[in-house]
A and B are shown apart, each in its own frame.
Chain A
Amino acid sequence: MGDLVQNLALGFSVAFSLQNLGLALAGCLIGTLIGVLPGVGPIATITMLLPVTFGLEPVGAIIMLAGIYYGAQYGGSTTAILVNIPGEVTAVVTTLDGHEMAKRGRAGAALGIAAIGSFFAGSLATLVVAALAVPLTKLALLFGAAEYFSLMAAGLAFAVVLARGSVLKAIAMILVGVLLSTVGTDLDTGIERMTFGYAPLADGLDFAVLAMGIFGFAEVLRNLEAAGKRDVVRAPLGRVLPTRDDLKRSAAPIARGSLLGAILGILPGNGAVLGPFASYTLEKKLAREPGRFGRGAIEGVAGPEAANNAGAQTSFIPLLSLGIPPNAVMALMVGAMTIHGIVPGPLVMTRNPALFWGVIASMWIGNLMLLVINLPLVGVWVKFLSVPYRLMFPAILLFSCIGIYSVNNSPADVLMAAGLAVVGWVFIKLDLETAPLLLGYVLGRLMEENFRRALALARGNIATFVERPVSLGLLAVAVLVIAIAVLPAVRRGRDEVFTE
């Protein structure tokens, strides 16, 4: 406990420097600004803004990126409430009651409670991250290659369960992602794999390019087709500060949502996605009049928003302590850290404690800033959203192109993103979800590396994965999770959660 206080003190001393405070503020602001654009979620926002942080020193860069991430999350909620377009899966739930509230002239209260709920959730999650980081890092040092492989396998299994729609298709998309991750030079032998001699592919597909093309651009295409159906709220915003009654109704959902989100966010395999859905379902079950849900119940905004933010933050845990990015956003963070010469994993904490605890402390500061800047700025975002989509999407494309180009100063990257955009659009048309693909890609390379290392260590004995107890346990979890997902009863329940 004393350690925790000491560590956090170190963190805050780093984060409270004038420069880092400024970077956190700037990150939150521009993150919200870009994240508010309809159909632009955190993944696209971070890819676009990644180059902005290149000139900074590492701690500042990571703090700013984290700020951008929170800003993008909050911007996404704003769009979900005001325009009914979620920037990413986790904001889908917010559209349900948030947009209804907005239609009834209570957009202000919805945005206010989202910010307050997120702040509470963020504060709790920061403590969770700080408390769990040390023990998990110690655990990570006990992990060998086989355990790492099995842990990631379990993560992918969770991702299958958490994907919407068909389980088979989710498995297929994960495999596609893993397959894509093998393109490029083989690390052990130096042989080029499936590059067709195309030089820009020799280092493999850059994750930022893949995410922007197959996810960001494809999202623009999806929105273009739905452009006529956009309904920006015309009703007055109403007051931003929630009433006493609102707060009373929201307090318990926020607390429960924070807890749910924080726990789910720790799971490798993007558990954070499940948070808002789980919270919404839970609140609806607990509510005295469930009929209010879907008609502008403030609990339906408060709980899921808290869960969303808590999960967003605790998803840093697998990254910082184990070096495993649990979702696409964290994979982008890995890219950014690598550019600054930091290899995320258990060693960061011992080798670079100022960075590690500084980032954790800045999480809380970022949340505070969101609350402070966003409540007064709500009016600005509303103005911004009244720009018609016919102008917005060319601007999104321009920013995205500049962002992709700047990651490696490579026109070939932009070219590949153009091709991937079409692929992503076809996937949408075929109901093949791209989120599991991204996760498969993220974990694919790490898994292959650890798979081959584990085999080499065991002299080719593949049984090593089931002979080591921890590895066996993790694989058992993976199998169990998939088996449960295929059970008809659970499948029905899962469909309910995701289609509500």
Chain B
Amino acid sequence: MAEDTNSPEVSPPRRRLGRSPRDFLAGACLVALALFALWAGSELDPGSLRSPGPAMVPRAIALALGAVGLLVVAFSLLEDGAKLGRWPLRGPIFVSLAVVAFALTIRSVGLAVAGPLVVIVSGAASAESRPKELVLFALAMTAFCIALFKFALSLPIPVLVLPGLFVL
């Protein structure tokens, strides 16, 4: 866990987002999250201590979160800390796309398609991937997973669905 893709480098004072930009952004995100939760639960009834309503705990927690977030922001303006660091988007984009592709195809078409999709789309997340190898690997892994999960463990996971024609 400590092995750092973004090890804290101490920034020189007087940066744009206070003296500790990473903490500043973190605090701001926490405050935003708290506000979002307050808004999302704004129509719920907090009730009273005698009969607590559905909104009591979420609202109290959101308020506390907002307060802690503000403290994080405040400290980020006072203490020197880490810079924002690099945020390469390639990984998150392709990995989440791959998982979304799996979610959208697993029921409608089945693992035989969803499997290779995950492997190939996520493969694009790494600069080291080699297309040919990846395709072969995708097919092999999918076959292995079908054998393991569908046949050896008999989980109810669709393998191939051709509407009106064929369901496995």
Contacts and interface: CB of A to CB of B under 8 A. Distances in A.
Interface of A: 51-52, 54-55, 84-86, 88-89, 92, 95, 164, 166, 168-169, 171-172, 175-176, 178-179, 182, 186, 188-189, 191, 193-194, 196, 217, 220-222, 224-227, 388-391, 393-395, 397-399, 401-402, 405-406, 409, 411-412, 414-415, 417-419, 421-422, 425-426, 428-432, 448, 451-452, 455-456, 459-462, 498-499
Contacts of A395: 119, 137, 141
Contact of B123 (A84, A194, A394, A415): A394
B126 A421 contact: no
B9 to A, nearest CB: 12
A67 B118 CA distance: 29
A352 to B, nearest CB: 25
Contact of B41 (A89, A193, A224): A193
Contact of A226 (B3, B92, B106): B3
Given A406-B155, A414-B102, A390 B3 contact: no
Contacts of A390: 123, 126, 128-130
Question: Chain B: interface residue count, which band?
Answer: 35 or more
Interface of B: 1-6, 8, 22-23, 25-26, 29-30, 33, 37, 40-41, 44-45, 48-58, 61-62, 64-65, 68-69, 71-72, 75, 82, 84-85, 87-88, 91-92, 95-96, 98-100, 102-104, 106-107, 111, 114-115, 118-120, 122-123, 125-126, 128-130, 133-134, 137-138, 141-142, 145, 149, 153-157
Contact of B54 (A86, A186, A217): A186
Contacts of A406: 149, 155, 157
A463 to B, nearest CB: 10
B90 to A, nearest CB: 8
A182 B145 contact: no
Contacts of A451: 52, 57
A86 B57 contact: no
Contacts of B44: 191, 193
Contacts of B114: 401
Contact of B99 (A191, A217, A226, A431): A217
Contacts of A182: 57-58, 61
Contacts of A456: 51-52
B121 to A, nearest CB: 9
Given A172-B65, A394-B118, A394-B137, A425 B92 contact: yes
B118 A388 contact: no
Nearest to B40: A194
Contacts of A193: 41, 44, 54-55, 58
Nearest to A229: B3
B155 A422 contact: no
A338 B75 CA distance: 43
Contact of B50 (A52, A92, A227, A460): A460
Given A55-B153, A179-B33, A409-B157, 5 more contacts: A182-B61, A394-B141, A430-B25, A432-B30, A455-B50
A414 B106 contact: yes
A419 B95 CA distance: 10
B111 A194 contact: no
A279 B106 CA distance: 46
B97 to A, nearest CB: 8
A196 B145 CA distance: 35
Contacts of A394: 98, 118-120, 122-123, 134, 137-138, 141
For B55, B58, B99, B118, the residue with the greatest tally of chain A CB atoms inside 10 Å of its CB is B99
Nearest to A95: B3
A411 B72 contact: no
9 contacts: A166-B23, A189-B54, A222-B5, A390-B128, A394-B120, A397-B122, A398-B118, A417-B99, A462-B49
A393 B122 CA distance: 8
Nearest to B42: A194
A399 B1 CA distance: 22
B128 A221 contact: no
**Most chain A CB within a 10 A radius of its CB, from B61, B128, B129:** B61
Contacts of A414: 99, 102-103, 106
A172 B30 contact: yes
A221 B68 CA distance: 28
A237 B161 CA distance: 48
A431 B96 contact: no
B145 A452 contact: no
A13 to B, nearest CB: 28
A401 B118 CA distance: 8
A429 B85 contact: yes
A438 B122 CA distance: 26
Given A414-B103, A419-B96, A84 B118 contact: no
**What 10 pairs across the A-B complex have the smallest Cβ distances?**
A460-B50, A414-B103, A418-B99, A186-B54, A430-B26, A394-B119, A460-B49, A225-B5, A175-B65, A182-B58
Nearest to A93: B2
A194 B55 CA distance: 10
Contact of A84 (B3, B55, B138): B3
Contacts of B125: 224, 393
A86 B3 contact: yes
Contacts of B129: 390
B147 to A, nearest CB: 12
B132 to A, nearest CB: 12
B92 A51 contact: no
B52 A402 contact: no
Contacts of B52: 188, 451-452, 455-456
